[in-house]
């Protein structure tokens, strides 16, 4: 069956791999990127599509509310043209390493919160409210085990603002899950999930941490695992690892 997915933060890394696998599996994708003209690898994927609506690419700067609103409007227009959105993946994220609590500046902290917490939540809010008659099936936030309070490791140096921004994301998405359930009706069928993609070899992970990262994986393995989890899990507000293990928070 062909579904329409929205992937936000699709220019490279895990987001780009989501688009690649979804297109390969026969789905339609509406991809949100910060700068369309710089999304070379995504534009290359689109160039192989047989019809333009298989892969729609639109600007969505997750730190800019006007850009998010325009993107949501475009998704709404696509739905009216027949591309009703089934699943939404909020993947865009930033890690400016290191971001220690004892050192970071106000703007550095704010950038992590804007990109990793506020933008994804506001974007999901605008998308979920587009059509009360047909809310999405799944809203998936790409979080991180760095945002888990129970998995906190005091030797994981340099991840203060990043971890805090993902912890706040986890809390807000649970509120979103509970609020949609309380709305009742069709809204209560929408399932909100948080996912840890694993330690994935992307640009974000290409930093000298000063310690060995064990068990890191490629984007294709991470995304194949996450797509399976997204298909199978339906407990709204829950937090999963890419390989199907429940992440306690
Ligand atoms: P990359 O750095 O490779 O990619 C980040 C993506 O986010 C890019 O497409 C980037 O777009 C986009 N992005 C950043 N800022 C914005 C913005 N303001 N507006 C729109 N898009 C933006 O990282 P990954 O692919 O590794 O990370 C994807 C997600 O997975 C992130 O949320 C990250 O926190 C999470 N994660 C990753 C882990 C890993 O090991 N890689 C581990 C745990 C979580 P642009 O090209 O314009 O910069």
Cα 80 to averaged position of ligand 1 atoms, centre (Å): 30
Cα 174 to averaged position of ligand 1 atoms, centre (Å): 21
- CATH number among 3.30.1330.40, 3.40.50.300, 3.30.300.180, 3.40.50.720, domain 2-241: 3.40.50.720
Task: Indicate the angle between helix axes 40-47 and 13-24, nearest 10 degrees.
Answer: 0
Count of CB atoms situated within 10 Å of the CB of 97 = 15
- For the chain, the structural domain boundaries read 2-241
* Half-sphere exposure for 119 (CA within 13 Å, toward CB): 30
Position 213 scores a pLDDT of 78
Tell me the best of 31, 140, 197 to mutate to test the pocket of ligand 1, counting ligand atoms within 8 Å of each CB and taking the most: 197
> What's the rounded mean pLDDT across residues 219-223?
98
* Nearest atom of ligand 1 to the alpha carbon of 63: 18
> What's the rounded mean pLDDT across residues 175-203?
96
Tokens matching residue 183: 């709305």
Rounded Cα–Cα distance for residues 131 and 177 (Å): 17
Q: How big is the chain, counted in residues?
A: 249
Whether 227 shows a pLDDT value over 80: the answer reads: yes
Closest residue by Cα to residue 132 from 56, 66, 67, 79: 79
- Model confidence, pTM: 0.98
- Ligand 1 residue neighbourhood (C-beta within 6 Å): 9, 11-15, 34-35, 60-63, 91-94, 115, 142, 144, 196-197, 199-200, 202-205
Q: What is the mean pLDDT of the chain?
A: 96
Rounded Cα–Cα distance for residues 78 and 74 (Å): 6
pLDDT in tens, 140-174: 999 999 999 888 888 889 999 999 999 999 999 99
Tokens matching residue 107: 């703007």
Cα 189 to averaged position of ligand 1 atoms, centre (Å): 28
The answer to whether residues 192 and 207 touch, using CB atoms and an 8 Å cutoff, is no
Rounded Cα–Cα distance for residues 98 and 131 (Å): 41
């Amino acid at each position: 069956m062909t579904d329409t997915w929205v992937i936000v933060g699709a220019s490279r890394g895990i987001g780009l791999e989501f688009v690649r696998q979804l297109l390969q599996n026969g789905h339609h994708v509406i991809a949100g990127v910060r700068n369309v003209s710089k999304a070379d690898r995504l534009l290359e994927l689109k160039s192989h599509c047989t019809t333009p609506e298989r892969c729609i690419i639109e600007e969505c700067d997750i730190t800019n509310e006007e850009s998010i609103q325009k993107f949501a409007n475009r998704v709404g227009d696509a739905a009216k043209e027949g591309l009703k959105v089934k699943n939404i993946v909020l993947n865009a994220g930033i890690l400016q390493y290191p971001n220690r609590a004892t050192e970071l500046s106000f703007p550095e902290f704010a950038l992590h919160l804007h990109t990793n917490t506020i933008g994804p939540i506001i974007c999901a809010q605008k998308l979920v409210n587009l059509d009360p008659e047909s809310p999405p099936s799944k809203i998936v936030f790409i979080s991180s085990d760095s945002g888990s309070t129970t998995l906190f490791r005091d030797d994981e140096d340099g991840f203060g603002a990043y971890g805090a921004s993902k912890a706040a994301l986890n809390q807000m998405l649970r509120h979103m899950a509970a609020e949609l359930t309380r709305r009742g009706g069709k809204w209560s069928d929408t399932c909100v999930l948080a996912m840890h993609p694993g330690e994935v070899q992307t640009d974000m992970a290409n930093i000298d941490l000063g310690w060995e990262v064990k068990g890191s994986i490629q984007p294709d393995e991470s995304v194949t695992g996450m797509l399976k989890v997204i298909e199978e899990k339906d407990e709204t507000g829950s937090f999963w690892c890419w390989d199907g293990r429940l992440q306690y928070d």
